[in-house]
Structure formats: C-alpha cells, structure tokens
Amino acid sequence: MGWDGLDLWGARRLERLTGGSSNDVWRLDIDGQVAVGRLGQRSDEDLAWEMDLMAHLDRNGLGVPMPIPTRDGRLFAEGLVVMAFVPGGPPQDAADWRRVGETLRRLHGLTADWPQRPGWRASTDLLSEDKGTRIDLTAMPAEAVLRCRAAWARLAGQTMTVVHGNPGNPGNILMSPDRVALIDWDEAHVDVPVLDLVLPHNGGGLEGAARDAAEQASAAWEAAVCWKDDYAEMRLAEVRPV
C-alpha cells in the first residue's frame, strides 16, 4: 500500500519532513487542513500500543500528536499513520528545558503499570536478555556489554513507567507559551523514568548519584540501540569501564 494508502484519508503529500529513524514523514493536506503522515514498518500491535498511549495522554491534557482516523474509522493502515499537525518550536533555554522535564514527569505519573510495547525490553530486562526490538547485545563486544549492563544494573528495582525515549532531541519538543508537546514516539516503551530526565541544562532536575546513574544508563542505552555507528561508539565511550 505505502503512500497510496493516503487515499483512505483523502490526503495528499506536500513536503518531506525530518522524521524518526524508522519512518518516512511528510506534511500532508486533507481538504485544506495541514496534517502529518508517517510511514514505517511497525506491526499493527506496535501501532495499536502507541495509539492507545496517545489517546490516554491526550485525555489527561498532555500535548501529543493525535491520530486522524481514515474515512472508515481506522487509526492506521499497513504502517501508515496520519496525525494532526502540532504547532510550536524547540526549547531555547534552561527555563524551557525545565518545562520539558516537568512534562516528562507528568508522562511518567500518568503511565504507571502501563504494559510494555510489543517486542520491546526495558534497560533492566537486558541484564539477562540479549535482544529487544532494535537492540542486539550479541552484536556488541563482550566488554561493551559488560559496561552497559553495569550501568543498567544501577537502575534495578526502580519504578517502571512509559518513557518517551528521545526527549533530549530538541526536534522532538514543540513548545508554545501554554504547553509542551512531545512528538516522535518511535522509541517510547516501558522503562525506568530517569532515562527520560537526562536533558540539556539538567532540565530533569537530577542531582548527585541519581544524575550520574541516569546519565550512564542513558549513554549505554543509546550505544546499544545505535550499534554500530559513530554515534554509538561516542556514547559507549561515555560509559565507564567495569
């Protein structure tokens, strides 16, 4: 089906946008209304998890990109999702990043006991598991795996919630005077919430040992997710040897 599926919405493509690593993202027109289309390889179960989460967060006042149904009422079709356009711009200063941190804490508070995204693993699951979605620890050198697991072990036993997964990327934040919206939920899953709070200008308000543990675990996670490119090597270099 691919982009031909836009006929289900009566939409047409206008221009390509910068999207997540797994998707092709375009600005759309639907009868004069601006929308955003996203085409990827996610399973129906994965997309249903994301759509349920967006609905829950929207009901509770969190700014998220809400899906626009097809003409026959579906929220997605063969990996294609159409979402309402979210206005706003990226964070500009420390005060903005503190607002982002507050919004993420709201996300975490709203998603205690949320089920895990299909096929995903939390960082602490990877203390004993080798694979989960985009992570394959068997592809990493044994010494790198030891370092990553040592970092994740410091989070063991903490409360689990939904995490956005990549909130430190300014392109995933759209701010206006009255709200902070979070977009690009490609990496969202259930994990330890402090992973979301490693933000520019310490917007997450972490201090001392908690901040160090979160920064180490976050660097280890991104190294494992992106292995093996230059960015992964850079993040792994931040994780202390065992």
Structure tokens that stand for 8 in this block: 């289900």
> Structurally, how many domains does the chain consist of?
2
Say whether pLDDT at 21 is over 90.
Answer: no
Q: Are 220 and 192 in contact (CB under 8 A)?
A: no
Say whether pLDDT at 19 is over 60.
Answer: no
What's residue 234's pLDDT?
A: 97
DSSP string, 196-236: GG--GGGTT---HHHHHHHHHHHHHHHHHHH-SSHHHHHHH
Give the model confidence (pLDDT) of 71-87 as tens digits: 999 999 999 999 999 99
What's residue 1's pLDDT?
A: 80
* Mean pLDDT score of the chain: 96
What's residue 144's pLDDT?
A: 98
pTM above 0.75, yes or no: yes
> What is the DSSP code (8-state) at residue 89?
B
Residue 142 sits in the same domain as residue 65: no
Residue 45 sits in the same domain as residue 105: no
Please tell me the least confidently modeled range out of 11-25, 101-115, 132-146, 216-230.
Answer: 11-25
Residue 33 sits in the same domain as residue 108: no
User: Range of 66's domain?
Assistant: 2-84
Q: Average pLDDT of 56-71? A: 97
> What is the DSSP code (8-state) at residue 177?
T
**Side chain identity, residue 51:** M
* CATH assignment at residue 61: 3.30.200.20
Residue 60 sits in the same domain as residue 80: yes
Q: Last residue of some domain: 35, 62, 84? A: 84
Q: H-helix or E-strand containing 13?
A: strand 12-17
Q: Average pLDDT of 33-49? A: 95
Q: Last residue of some domain: 65, 84, 103? A: 84
User: 35: burial class by Cβ within 10 Å (0-12, 13-18, 19+)?
Assistant: buried
Q: Predicted confidence band at 23 (pLDDT cuts at 50, 70, 90)?
A: confident
Is 148 inside any structural domain? yes
Say whether pLDDT at 242 is over 60.
Answer: yes
What's residue 53's pLDDT?
A: 98
